[in-house]
Structure 1
Amino acid sequence: MQLLILGGSGRTGKLIVEDAIAKGHSVVALVRSPSSLAARPGLTTVQGTPLKREDIAKAFGALPTRPDAVLVALSLKRVSDSPFAAVSPDAPDRIMEDSVANAISVMNDFGTKRIVIMSQWGAGDSWNSMSFLFRAIFKHTNMKYGLAAHNALDKETRRSDVEFVLARACVLAEGDAAPIRLYPDDGAAIGLLPKITRASVAKFMVEACEKDDFVGKSPVISN
C-alpha cells in the first residue's frame, strides 16, 4: 500500500512509519524538518505542514500513485513531554482539526478514501467509560485542551464522506507492541486504569488501513 503519514516525526508517528515500512508499505511523511526522520528504503519525506493544503497536495504527489490511506498522529504542542504540561504559546490553533480538514479535502481531489486518526479515550461517547478520577483530571488540568481538540476533530470527521477510523487510545505508555484489547466506541467495560503502548497504537493504525473491520468506528484500544 501507499501511505501518507501526518505527524510522522512525533513519538507515535515514528513508530507508525517503522511498522508500515516493516510490513512492506511505501510511506510518505509530511514533516517540518526532513532530518527528523532517518532515511531508509520505503520512506519519502516531504517538507511542509498539514496546516497548508498545498503542502498536503505536494505530499500526495510524492508517491508513484495516490496514497491508499492517510494516517494522522498529530497532537497539541506542549512545553514539555508531560501530558499535564501547558500548551506551548506558539502552538497553532486547531492544528489537528484544520490539518485533518485539509487532508480530507485533498483526499477527495485524489480519490483516496481511508483516513486513520489517532484519537484518545474520553473523546465523544467514550467519556462516560472513564472513572470519576480520570474525568476530573481531564476537566481540571491542561489535558482538557487536548480532549477538546479531539472532540472537535471527532465531530468534524464524522461530517465528511471518507472512510474514517478514529483510534481512541487509552493512557499512552512506552514499550513494545503487545496484544491489543478492543472495546466498543463508548469504551464500555474497559476498566479503571487502562494503558496502551505507542507501538501498539502504531500497529493498530497500520492494520486499520489494511482491513475494513473498523471503518466508520471509533474503537477504544488498550493492552
Structure 2
Amino acid sequence: MRFLVLGGSGRTGKLIVEEAISKGHNVVALIRSPSSLTARPGLAIVQGTPMKREDIAKAFETMQEPPQAILVALSLKRVSDSPFAAISPDAPDRIMEDSVANAISVMKDFGTKRIIILSQWGAGNSFDNMNFLFRAMFRYTNMKYGQAAHTTVDEETRKAGVEFVLARACVLADGEAAPIRVYPDNGKSAGFLPKITRASVARFMVEACEKDDFVCKSPVISN
C-alpha cells in the first residue's frame, strides 16, 4: 500500500514510518526538516508543513499514484517533552486541527479514502470514563490544550465525509510493540492508569490502514 505520513519525524511518527516500511508499504513523509529522517527504500521525504495545503498536495504529486491512506501523528509543540509543559510561544494556532483539515481537503481531491489519526484517551466521549485524577489534569493543567485540540479534530473529522480511524491512545510509553487491548470509543473499562507503547500505537495505526475493523470509530487502545 501507499501511505502519506504527517508528523513522521516525531517520536511516534518515526515508529509509524518504520512499521509501515517493515511491512512492505511505500511511505512518503511530509516533514519540515528533511534531515530528521533518512530516505531509504520504501521511504520518500518531502519538505513542507501540513499547515500549508499546497505542501500536502505537493507530497501527493510526488507519488505515481495517490496514497491509499494518510497517517497523522501530530501533537502540540511544547517547551519541553513533559506533557505538563507550556505550549511553545511560536506554536501555530490550530496546528493539529488545520493540518487534518488540509489533509482531508487534499485527499478528497485525489480520491484517497482513509485517514488514520493519532488521538488520545480523554478526547471526545472518552473523557467521562477516565479516573478522577486524569480528568483533573485535563481540566486544570497544560494538558488541557492537547485534549481540547484532539477533541476538536475528532469532532471536525466526523463531519468530513471520509473514512477515518481515531486511535485514542492511553498514556504513551517507550518500549517494544506488545499485544493491544481495544476498548469502546468511550474508553469504558480501560482501567485506572492504562498505558501503551508508541511502537504498539504505530502497529495499530498501520493495521488500521490494512483492515476495515475500526473504520469511522475511535477506539481507546492500551497494552
Residue in structure 1 matched with residue 27 of structure 2 by the alignment: 27
Aligned CA-pair RMSD: 0.5
Residue in structure 1 matched with residue 62 of structure 2 by the alignment: 62
Residue in structure 2 matched with residue 158 of structure 1 by the alignment: 158
Deviations 1:122-164 (A, max 9, x none): 0011011100111001111100000000011100000011000
User: Displacement of 1:61 after TM fit?
Assistant: 1.1
Residue in structure 2 matched with residue 220 of structure 1 by the alignment: 220
User: Displacement of 1:38 after TM fit?
Assistant: 1.6
Residue in structure 2 matched with residue 91 of structure 1 by the alignment: 91
Matches within 5 A, 1:102-121: 102-121=102-121
Distance 1:65 1:21 in 2: 17
Distance 2:10 2:206 in 1: 16
Matches within 5 A, 1:2-81: 2-81=2-81
Deviations 1:162-199 (A, max 9, x none): 00000000000000000000000001111101000000
Distance 2:143 2:181 in 1: 24
Distance 1:211 1:23 in 2: 14
Distance 2:170 2:63 in 1: 33
Question: 4+ residue runs of structure 1 moved beyond 3 angstroms?
Answer: none
Distance 1:151 1:79 in 2: 22
List alignment gaps of at least 5 residues for structure 1: none
**Paired AA for residue 38 in structure 1:** T
* Percent of pairs with identical residues: 78
List alignment gaps of at least 5 residues for structure 2: none
Distance 2:72 2:210 in 1: 15
> What's the TM-score once normalised by structure 2's chain length?
0.99
Distance 1:129 1:207 in 2: 26
**Paired AA for residue 10 in structure 1:** G
User: Displacement of 1:39 after TM fit?
Assistant: 2.0
